[in-house]
Structure 1
């Protein structure tokens, strides 16, 4: 996620310079052709076309932003649920019973491993290094042996809570409360996987893009009579606006794409790790800092 509030013009140009260059060359060709081989430019209702295309692009950008914001909201729920799980586990389990300290520590560490594994799954990365960083190979095995590693880790946590109830370490009401938190975590994961695995409908992706590009092609033809030699500049600037809006939609449509426009999953997982390690009295790492204005 880009952190600074000021526009990054260089990044914007880097992302659209190729189609913008093609558009500028086309504008020059149309302008030179008009003055070398004069032709009667057709009367094009560019204002009407532009307004209609702007509506298409607006729908697309709004839909993409809603997906990005929903992804951010689901991760906010995940952070809160992780804190609640750790707080309830520490409060419910009595340290007087032998082995309870290890059980509390195991549940908390499993939740840290879980959020890192979920981040890796959404970004299509290998979760094993992060899971093994927090858990022993024996603890990690039941999760790493599953295709859905974070779900395997969550199932293991639920089994440990159920075992604590059978041993009399917690009562059924406390088990129910902890299970409710696990349900919230599972629901948040399901929402994230839905966003990751369900693209925008083809109509939202194809039609705005093709119409915007056709408009950019027709624009210099409709402007050359009124702008003359200034057509390449005017048409390219107008085309830049449409191309930039197209790019915004592409950047936001997948909130877990692991690029500079991504929801900052690594930073949020670090937040969970800090809060939960401090809850069990362990030394916690420092918060993740932006790199060149980008928080990953």
Structure 2
């Protein structure tokens, strides 16, 4: 997630340089075609790039709105996980005070759940940090299933049932804690829905095609009065559309491990620090720090 108020131009150029080269080549070809093939035959009506520009604005606006909605929904889900995690730990430590060992074990297991969920969302199969919060027996049981975070929730339910059966917590407290497990499962499912739902490729594809057509026709029209400078002007106008479109598309997959994604590393580490402090642990990890003061992962 970006933190800086101002984005460096070099970062924008790193994301768009390939498209910029294609646009410059396209503008150059359009200028040469206009100058040496069609200049003495007919003029390109200015209404063509005007209509294309309007269509592109609608497409980019729609794409960016939908992309941001996906990103914001993902951020709200993980914000809810932060609050529910703190409430979950507080309830276990308060209600299961007679069996603190089980409460601590369930809190540690919840941290493993968060790291397993994060690894799944980012396709990070080699992320084994969360395994340190599981026992060897639990780890074998979890690794035997394809959905590791769902398997951890199942183990949590078994321990919660044991707390109820041995009288450590009463029926009302059982329902309260179980409701939190249900919310964790709901959040998990919502994250998986966002991750597995592909953004309609036709929207992004047509937007790219329309931008290319607009750049070419704009250069053809403007070259009638601007001459060779039409190449630069065509690229400049196209750069505005392209950078705006790329900025929106960077939010389509909010769980990707990039500067625009939801900062799962920071959020999971924040939850870990909070829960370990609530349990009175001494070995507390450091918060995740921003990279170059620009963004946090």
4+ runs of 1 displaced by more than 4 Å?
Answer: none
Q: Shift of residue 128 of structure 1?
A: 6.1
Q: Once superposed, what is the RMSD of the aligned Cα atoms? A: 1.5
Equivalent residue number for residue 133 of structure 1: 132
- Separation in 1, partners of 2:126, 2:87: 24
Equivalent residue number for residue 86 of structure 2: 83
Stretch deviating more after TM superposition (224-233 or 181-190): 224-233
Equivalent residue number for residue 117 of structure 1: 116
Equivalent residue number for residue 202 of structure 1: 201
- Separation in 2, partners of 1:114, 1:177: 19
Equivalent residue number for residue 259 of structure 1: 258
Q: 1:62 aligns with which of 57, 62, 65?
A: 65
After superposition, residues 270-285 of structure 1 pair within 5 angstroms as 270-283=269-282, 284-285=284-285
- Separation in 2, partners of 1:197, 1:66: 15
Does the 8 Å CA contact 2:27/2:215 hold for their aligned counterparts?
A: no
Q: Alignment partner of 2:218: what SS?
A: helix
- Going from structure 1 to structure 2, the CA distance change for 1:50 and 1:177 (only over 3 Å counts) comes to same
- Separation in 1, partners of 2:52, 2:263: 37
- Separation in 2, partners of 1:205, 1:34: 29
Q: Does 1:149 align with 2:148?
A: yes
- Separation in 2, partners of 1:35, 1:267: 55
- Separation in 1, partners of 2:204, 2:259: 21
Does the 8 Å CA contact 1:31/1:224 hold for their aligned counterparts?
A: yes
Q: Shift of residue 188 of structure 1?
A: 0.8
Equivalent residue number for residue 296 of structure 2: 295
Q: Shift of residue 214 of structure 1?
A: 1.9
- Separation in 2, partners of 1:201, 1:271: 34
Equivalent residue number for residue 31 of structure 2: 31
- Separation in 1, partners of 2:207, 2:28: 25
Equivalent residue number for residue 237 of structure 1: 236
> Could you report, residue by residue, the CA deviation over 1:84-114 in whole angstroms, capped at 9, with x for unpaired residues?
110100010123xxxx121011011011111
When the two structures are superposed, what TM-score results if normalisation uses the length of structure 1? 0.94
- Separation in 1, partners of 2:74, 2:66: 13
> Could you report, residue by residue, the CA deviation over 1:55-89 in whole angstroms, capped at 9, with x for unpaired residues?
11100010001000110110001111111110100
Equivalent residue number for residue 20 of structure 1: 20
Number of residue equivalences: 292
- Separation in 1, partners of 2:267, 2:210: 38
What 5-or-longer segments of structure 2 have no aligned partner? none
Does the 8 Å CA contact 1:112/1:134 hold for their aligned counterparts?
A: yes
What 5-or-longer segments of structure 1 have no aligned partner? none
Q: Shift of residue 219 of structure 1?
A: 1.9
Q: Alignment partner of 1:21: what SS?
A: helix
- Separation in 1, partners of 2:27, 2:127: 52
> Could you report, residue by residue, the CA deviation over 1:11-52 in whole angstroms, capped at 9, with x for unpaired residues?
111111111112112222333444455443321412222012
Q: Alignment partner of 1:258: what SS?
A: coil
